[in-house]
Amino acid sequence: MADVLPLVEARLHSALGEPDARAAVTFLGTDRIEVLRFPAVGQEGDVVRYATLGMSAQPMADPTAVLADPVKGPRAELVLSVRAGVADTDKVLRPLAVLAASPQVEGVIVAPGASLDVGEPLWPRAPFTSVLVAEPGGLVEDLELDAPLDPVRFLPLLPMTPNEAAWKRVHGAPALQERWLNHGTDLRDPSRRSVPLD
């Protein structure tokens, strides 16, 4: 079985350029998770991106399954885009690694529409402790792997305030995304306020 991670890293490089920093985190009983930082370039000259590398090494397993399939199952990496220079967002590396390790640690399947909570600010003084997992395919295309392996999907993360996360639990992800859209919310602003939820 080919090692998936070099292919994943090559796809990230082709989509986002060369990373200017990387950090590795290992949690007890899990594979190593790296977080790569891609500097702001091109038309979006003020947006920095953080991508995980390592989450896709193993397929995510159904938490109700008796035995995890070592080959089949969804694979993903996480991508966060924020405006540079507004907040100390480089401190998001460890929280991102925690989220990327959650399928191995907690046996969850991370999929679009899910909420992921780290229980603390994503970076110092951040108004967000959780993220909404968005649909893949926009920024980094899915990476097809040889059968029977599932493709690797690159899932964008949208930071949520605690109020937004609570509202989303009641009304669902599409309703929250529609509210963000209707209010012209800049989801890349690392210090934005909660969208009006009345």
**Residues 5-46: tens digit of each pLDDT:** 999 999 999 999 999 999 998 877 778 899 999 987 665 568
For the cut 70, the answer to whether the pLDDT of residue 68 exceeds it is no
| pLDDT tens profile 177-189 | 999 999 999 999 9
Q: Are 131 and 113 in contact (CB under 8 A)?
A: no
pTM for the whole thing?
Answer: 0.92
pLDDT of residue 12: 96
What would the pLDDT profile of 108-164 be if each residue is shown by its tens digit? 899 999 999 999 999 999 999 999 999 998 889 999 999 888 999 999 999 999 999
For residues 75 and 98, is the Cβ–Cβ distance under 8 A?
no
For residue 27, the model assigns a pLDDT of 79
Q: Does the pLDDT at position 54 exceed 60? A: yes
Confidence class for position 1, pLDDT limits 50, 70, 90: very low
Q: What is the pLDDT of residue 45?
A: 65
Has residue 106 got a pLDDT over 50?
Answer: yes
Q: Residue 181: CB partners within 8 Å, gap ≥ 6?
A: none
